[in-house]
Amino acid sequence: MMNYNAMLSGLRDLVDNPTPRVPVLLCLDTSGSMVGDPIRELNLGVQQFLTEMKGDDLTRCSAETAVVAFNDSASCVADFGTADKLLVPEMEAEGMTCMGEGLSLALDLLEKRKAKYKATGVDYYQPILVVMSDGLPNGNRRVWDEAVERIRALCASRKLSVVAVGIGNDADMEMLARVSPRQRPVRLNGLRFREFFAWLSRSVTNVTASLPGDEPGMDLDALQALSAEPWPEDTL
């Protein structure tokens, strides 16, 4: 039989800090085409995001981030934790673009975290999934299709908000649109990762100031300003 203390060890942070949580999932492309400046700027952007999250007292206690990287496979770079405790190692670029595998792993991590919220009675806001890629998904097609269906079902039931970001001219915006059914994907104008993550940290801070169950408060006008392509008026 599992030791009771061992069972609680993964819940200790929730027991000690029962503040309602904002789960943020970063699902990031680290394929070979990201080598050089793109992966360097992505790493800097993630670290800036965590630093800015520490700057607001409420956000520091309530926002939890997990990082998933995908290339030839998917890996959990950092499981859910608040910004003051989360350690995200530097990511390296290599391999293919197994986005479906990355999304599937990210959703699995989210379901496990939600189960821990429920076990400890901690309330949580609508989770935010950020997907960033510079290419075309080329992993297992069945895994990709299943991940898309899971995401679309969660979005339809208002249980997930997705921000899909294309990096550079080769990003497949149609594929990214499949995982972002309620909001048009953004193609970043250049390597503006740090500006994007500054926008994301402000959005998460806005969420922490609202009530659990509310729609995430995202400044879409500010997000559009980072885009290389204008949005049609009916998407704003």
Tens of pLDDT, residues 202-211? 999 988 877 7
pLDDT digits (tens, 9 = 90+) for 152-172: 999 999 999 999 999 988 899
Q: Is residue 70 part of a domain?
A: yes
Q: Is residue 132 part of a domain?
A: yes
Q: Is residue 9 part of a domain?
A: no
Q: Is residue 4 part of a domain?
A: no
For residue 35, what are its two tokens? 């080598």
pLDDT digits (tens, 9 = 90+) for 118-153: 999 999 999 999 999 999 999 999 999 999 999 999
Single out the residue of 208, 220, 29 nearest to residue 106, CA to CA: 29
Q: Which pLDDT does position 213 carry in this prediction?
A: 65
* pLDDT at residue 199 greater than cutoff 80: yes
Burial classification of residue 210, based on how many CB atoms lie within 10 Å of its CB (0-12 exposed, 13-18 middle, 19 or more buried):
middle
Confidence of residue 231 (pLDDT cuts 50, 70, 90): very low
Task: Residue 218: give the domain boundaries.
Answer: 20-235
The type of residue at 1 is M
Q: Is residue 215 part of a domain?
A: yes
pTM over 0.85: yes
Confidence of residue 69 (pLDDT cuts 50, 70, 90): very high
For residue 3, what are its two tokens? 């030791």
Q: Is residue 2 part of a domain?
A: no
Strands (E), the chain: 22-29, 63-70, 74-82, 128-133, 161-167, 186-188
* pLDDT at residue 215 greater than cutoff 80: no
Q: Which pLDDT does position 229 carry in this prediction?
A: 61
Single out the residue of 164, 159, 216 nearest to residue 188, CA to CA: 164
Q: Is residue 173 part of a domain?
A: yes
Residue in the structure block whose two tokens are 């670029």: 93
Q: Pairing relation of β-strands 63-70 and 22-29?
A: parallel
Contact 180, 91 (CB under 8 A): no
Number of domain units in the chain: 1
The stretch 13-22 carries a mean pLDDT of: 89
The stretch 99-121 carries a mean pLDDT of: 96
Identify the helix (H) or strand (E) that includes residue 72: none
Q: Which pLDDT does position 233 carry in this prediction?
A: 45
Single out the residue of 215, 23, 207 nearest to residue 128, CA to CA: 23
The type of residue at 69 is A
* pLDDT at residue 111 greater than cutoff 50: yes
Q: Is residue 85 part of a domain?
A: yes
CATH number at residue 227: 3.40.50.410
Q: Which pLDDT does position 94 carry in this prediction?
A: 97
CA distance 86 to 98: 25
